Each structure stands twice: as C-alpha cells, then as structure tokens.
Structure 1
C-alpha cells in the first residue's frame, strides 16, 4: 500500500471532510461497507443552507434551489480524479478519511460467526441458564471477552462444555478445568473464560437451589431411619466418595464489580454452589469421636485423637485422598461448634461420634456424611430452632438421609416451656409455616410459627450431651 502523503490528506480533509459534508461522508462509508461500491446518487432531503453550499463547492456548481442536497457519486469520483485532489478515486478517499472498510462478504461472514457464538450460548440445553446467556450477549460481555468472532465461538464452545459438566461433586477448580477444557488454569479468575464461567456457575447454582426449595418434599424422610444403602453417587464403604457434591446456599446471581474480599467470596460461593471448590483446604469439617482405623493417615489420626477425646478438623483434601476407617452405626450431626466443644469437655473419649456442620453443609461435610451413610451409618441431626436452622436441615436432607435428634415439634415445645428469656423468632420475608416445610416432622414448622420463639442449639446442651454419653 502506497503511504498517504500528509499534505495530500490535509487537502482531502478540507475538500471532503468538512462539518457541512459530514452527512455525505457518513452515507458513503455506510454504502461502501454494505455494497463495496460508491455509485449512484446520495440525497439528504432536509439539508441546511451550509450543507447545500458545501455540495455546490465540492462539485463546482451553483447552489440549487430547494431544501435537499444531492450528490452524484460517479460525478464526485470523476471530480476527485480529474482535479488531482485524490487520484485514486472516491472509494479510496473515503477509506483515507474514515479507515479501512471490511469487504461486505467478509463482514457478513463475521456477523454470522458472532451470531453462531451467541447461538451456542442460547442453546446450551439448560433452560435455567437462558437468562444468564441473554445477559452475556445483551451486555456485550461476550464481545469484550473475545477479540474476534472466531475467538468468541471457541469461548462459547468452552462455556457449553463447562455447563454440560455441572453440577459436579466436590471437585477442585483446577481439576474440573483440566477435565473439561484441558487446561488446569483456564477457569482462573484472571482469564476471560473464568470470568464468564463463574457467572454461569452462579446462575446455575441459584437455579438448582431454587428448584430444591420449590420441591414439595426434600429427600430427608419422616422419622423413619435412613436406608444404609448408599446413594447412587456414593463411593464404596469406608472411602470418601469421589463425587460428593457440596450443599450450600447458592450465591446471589449478580457478581460484585470490584476485586474486594466480597468479590472473592462471591466467586468461591458461586463455584461451590455447583460442586466445584476453589481449593481442597478451605473446606473442612469438625468431628469428634469417629473411631478411625489403620488404613490411611487420616484414619490413624482419627483413631489417635478420638482416644484422646480431642476434636478433629478434616479438610476436603484429606477426605478426597483417604478412607475414614471404621464407620459407626450411628453418627450424631449438629449445627454449631459449641456442641462439639461441650462434648469434648464433658465426655472426651466417651462421646458418641459427632459431626459439626458449622452452618450450611459444605463440601467437606457432605463428603464425609455421604461416606458414613455409604458405610451403613444412620445420621441423627440437631440444629437451631430458627428458620436458618430449618434451612440447614433441609439442605442436609437434599444430600443425605437423616433422622431428627431432639429436633421435632415436641422437643421445640418442651424447650420453649422450660427455658425463659428466649429471643423472638426472626421473621424473614415470605417465610412462614406455609412456606417452610419440615418433612421430618410436619408439626414443627407450624409450632415454630405459632410460638415464634428461637431456641439456639447451645441452650439444649444438657439433653444433647446426655444422648452423646456412651
């Protein structure tokens, strides 16, 4: 390409690039993009006097009467060539003033390629992700993430692969990325794929949580003992199953816009809501009295600390790598660490096996409890008598079968009658006995809504410790 002479370009700007001819230049650019040619006539029906005068000077003709301004592009091309203003002609002049024009066929192909990328996201086969896909396309997030249509198609295909593999079960982010898109770091926070995929995970996690809440009854049975048969996703007895998914409250479907701790927490919760953990050490579970064994380092540690009456914190990494040893026939499950501390203080090595969820059950807790159920253990759960505690119980019931441990309507009523100074039950928007079911005891939600008092788990320690004494 011949370099453009600065002086020639300046003359061209003063000839064709004036403010009064801006409409003409814009129309020619559009026509060149759409057809690849500049022929025929361009007309502006309602033009100013200045615009009509500029056209007259450009074509070296008198100003015509009327309000419209018309320019024959063939005539203008001839004027530029003959005058020497721009010997390469009109099309080359427009390119010099406005930039390179993509060939119309190439432009159409680019448009089709972008549309194909968008269609890939719209056709993920996951209706619950349609809103997320529309937002990514509508807000231009896909275009910002990919420099070209081809890159966008590749990115959309990777997102489709990620969506098809979710939810997973207790899998590390690096391992999940390596398995799905063949790059352990492809879903890291700083990558374009990672930035879009975490939004996908958040949307899917929220949809799955909503579907679970809307279900007429969770999998926790009414007071019947759970079957010792492991769920279909469980691993063999005494080994932590490789596909146990975490169960936690789904994150908000709106990503924070900063890089603060809040943003990092949202990202962690978004991935965890679909069974992916950012690392295998941040998720842990507190236990006391698990017998352990000799088959693995973790089992031996459980045995030694159990004999000493000391609580143990097990990480997801340990549970993924090691067997847990002997599986007791009954394992008690509590919501709050204070119960474990009290049991360790009062009972020490004589405490029955106890697992603490410490709020919503996370990846490590679910992995351990599924391993225990797979080994034949019956789980007995107790939590706070408030709506959050009911939520924990329901979330647990969606993953493993359990029976209530002093966690029925009669227990709640007795506690309210015996204890004084109980705080009022926090009223949450839209939460009532009609909207929150307690399938292990249908009367519990109604009793809580009627009495409207909260009973923290710590207030029931005497009875709980009596049950744990063995």
Structure 2
C-alpha cells in the first residue's frame, strides 16, 4: 500500500488535527507543536489512536510535531508535511504571499508618487498620499493602477480648452461617460483638483461645475477670455488676426474670447519668445512703457482659463518658446507648475535667488506652499519667510528682460 493510500485510510475524525497542521505549516513559520480543539469524543479517540496515547487527550490538546512525524512514518513512511500534502495538495506560504502582496502595493504607490504628472506638479503629492491612505480599489493592485492611470491621463491634459466634460472624456479616454458625476474616476479627479487648487470639495452641482470650469472644462465660449499684446501674426485671416494686429499697432491689449480663438486652426507663424504673466497689471505696465513696440505677451489672470489654454497651446504648437512668471506665493507656485507642465513653458525669474533678492520683511502671506520641480529650495525659502512676493514688486526687472 502506498503512502498516499495509507494516509487516505486514516480516520475522518482526524480532520481538526489536519486543519490545525495546515494553518501552522501555511503560516511560513517553523512548526514545533500544534494546539488542537475543541475535539469531540470521537475525535479525541482518533487522535489517541494515531499517536498511540494511553489516554484520551482531552477537549483541547497540544501535540508535538515530532510525535506526529513518528506516528506517520510508521503508518505511511512519510513525515507530517508530506502526509498533509497528500491530503491538500501543495501548502502555500502565507507569509511569503503577504510579503509579495505588500511589495506589489508598495510598488504601486511608489509608481504613483514618482509619476511624471505628480512630479511636474508637486502639489499633487498630497493627492497621491490621500490615494494611498484610501487603499486599493476592491483590494486589487491592477484595478487601482488602471484607474489611477486614467486619472493621471486626465490631469495631464488640464486645463482643458473649453470643451464639455463628455467631449473631453471622449478625447482623452475614448469614453464620453468616463468622467460622469458619481463614477469612481470622476471622484478621484475631483479630489485631485481640490488639492491642486487648494479648494474645498464641491458641496453641490453648482460648485462642481465651477471646479471643472476652473480646470478649463466648460462650453461657455464668451465669458472665457485671455489678454494678449504684441501678437500681430496669430490667426492669419481668422477673426483673431485683425483684432491682434489692430491692438498691437495701437499699443493696446486684446481681449480674446474662447469663441474667437476657436476660429484659429493653427498659427502659421509665431514669435520666437512669448512672455506669459499671471497678473494683468504687468501687461498694463508693459503697454504703458513699450506701447506699439510691446513684445509678444500673454496674461492668464490667475489659473489659466479655457481661452488661455487654447492660446498657449496654439503658440506652443507653432514653435514659440513660452517664458512664464507669476507670483511667489502658494497659489502662484501651483499655477506656475501647471503652466510649465501643461504647455512646456520655461520658468522666468522664478528661482530662489529671484525670490530672496526681492522679498522684503513685510508683505502678504504666502499661504500653503508646495514644491516646484525646477528649484528644489524655492518652496522652503518661501515657507520659512511666510511672505509672498507679488509680480508687481519685480515689474521693473521683468520689463528689463523683455524690453525690445
């Protein structure tokens, strides 16, 4: 009779002993003894018979592995682990499985933390940390990574160019319903936007629409505008071209709506460098100083609107180098990181030296400051001083750089 047949003929009342052994062996730890119970009278008899005990072991019994090994070698010629595998198949190592699962989870969160979208806009690191605290979606690393990857694809394309949310979702994800309100992906992206904009989570549908509009997702072609000066060639024969040429020749700023910019399919020729600023006062000062000789400038007026996103995208696609300067404060740094990441702009006078050489001992508070990828020490300097440096304080330096 084979060992496997001998094991199969053992009493079914030994089931509690086999179960206890299986749990201990699959733990991945060394096994010297097992505790079995509660045992019925019949099960106590079966254990006593197997081990050759002179008396019943009682309702609960602690059995040494060496004793079981000795009994099974006499009965089947094999040790306890081999006998157990005849009954159950290979015994897993739960400890190793847990370690492998932990490593898989750690690799997922490391991937998210170091993703280029998060690194390009370090304010999103707080969102990545929140995603980790929330844990896996349905306990699955694969499912979680798939959903986070979709969210990162969305964030990479924001601010949008003023299209409706279903159109944006179809363009980016191939599914117009991927960002429907109530979907898991919608919730993840909205959470990222509230972190990026340092905003409260939307309390209702109106607040949600405002948040998406801030991210350039809107179909309002008229209220979304951007300021520009010194751009006489953009738009060619489209409606935008004559507006810009007239304003540039007169030393005036042009107010371009999303509706107007949508008439421009491409920019046949763009200036080599376009200077992009956060605040309208900088553009106004440049026009006063340079008039009709004002170099190419764009003012995004805070977080870029849909119109600003379209204009910057047109200029970048035409080969213009975008140079960006904004306020040295928490929101200003987040806006700058967004412009650099989304449109490939180059930071302009946005270093630690620029800040330290101009900041005083008094000024507006800097707010919540997050790192930027082009200067690892900048956020630390601003956080330590707690003082913001508005663009207006360095306007002369900026205009000296761009003087024609």
Output the TM-score relative to the length of structure 2.
0.53
* Alignment partner of 1:170 is 2:143: no
Deviations 1:216-246 (A, max 9, x none): xxxxxxxxxxxxxxxxxxxxxxxxxxxxxxx
Give the match's secondary structure for 2:233: coil
- Residue 357 (1) aligns with residue 307 (2): no
Aligned to 2:376: 442
Q: Deviations over 1:309-333 (max 9, x none)?
A: 1101111122222245531110111
Decide which of 290, 294, 312 is 2:231's aligned counterpart.
Answer: 290
> Which of residues 218, 221, 227 is equivalent to 1:277?
218
Structure-1-length-normalised TM-score: 0.46
| Change beyond 3 A, Cα 1:297–1:325 | farther
Q: Say whether residues 1:403 and 2:346 are aligned partners.
A: yes
What RMSD in Å do the two structures reach over aligned CA positions? 3.6
Unaligned runs of 5+ in 1: 1-127, 135-162, 181-186, 188-192, 214-247, 257-262
Structure 1 residues 362 and 171, CA, compared in 2 at 3 Å: closer, same or farther? closer
Residue 325 of structure 2 is aligned to residue 382 of structure 1: yes
Q: Aligned equivalents of 2:182 and 2:223: distance in 1?
A: 21
Task: Render the CA deviation track for 1:45-104: whole Å, top value 9, x for unaligned.
Answer: xxxxxxxxxxxxxxxxxxxxxxxxxxxxxxxxxxxxxxxxxxxxxxxxxxxxxxxxxxxx
Moved more, 279-288 or 264-273: 264-273
Map 1:43-192 → 2, pairs under 5 A: 169-173=160-164, 176=167
**8 A Cα contact 1:199 1:253, kept in partner:** no
CA distance in 2, matches of 1:250, 1:319: 29
Distance of 2:259 and 2:326 partners within structure 1: 26
CA contact (8 A) 1:268 1:278 kept: no
> Cα offset for 1:174?
8.9
Deviation for aligned residue 1:176 = 3.1
Residue 267 of structure 1 is matched in structure 2 by 209
What is the CA distance between 1:394 and its match in structure 2?
1.2
Aligned: 1:455 with 2:396: no
Determine whether 1:249 maps to 2:197: yes
Q: For residues 178 and 333 of structure 1, do their structure 2 counterparts lie closer, same or farther at Cα, with a shift above 3 Å needed?
A: closer
Q: Quick check: 2:214–2:303 contact (8 Å CA) kept in 1?
A: no
| Partner Cα separation in structure 1 for residue 209 and residue 198 of structure 2 | 11
- The equivalent of 2:94 in structure 1 is none
Deviation per residue, 1:390-443 (Å, 9 max, x gap): 111112122011222221111111102xx5x63153343xx4xxxx22222222
Partner of 2:257: 315
- CA gap of 1:265–1:301, structure 2 versus 1, over 3 A, is farther
Pick closer, same or farther for the CA change 1:415–1:296 going to 2, 3 Å. Answer: same
8 Å Cα contact 2:328/2:366 also seen in 1: no
Q: Which residue of 1 aligns with 2:291?
A: 348
- 1:177 deviates by 9.7
Assess if the C-alpha contact under 8 Å between 1:315 and 1:364 holds in 2. yes
Instruction: Give 4+ residue runs of structure 1 displaced > 6 Å after superposition.
Output: 165-168, 177-180
Q: Kindly indicate whether residue 238 of structure 2 is the aligned counterpart of residue 301 of structure 1.
A: no
- Taking a change above 3 Å as real, the CA distance of residues 354 and 442 of structure 1, as seen in their structure-2 partners, is same
CA distance in 2, matches of 1:291, 1:399: 24
Q: Does 1:203 align with 2:178?
A: no
Give the aligned length.
248
Tell me if structure 1 keeps the 8 A contact 2:286–2:294. Answer: yes
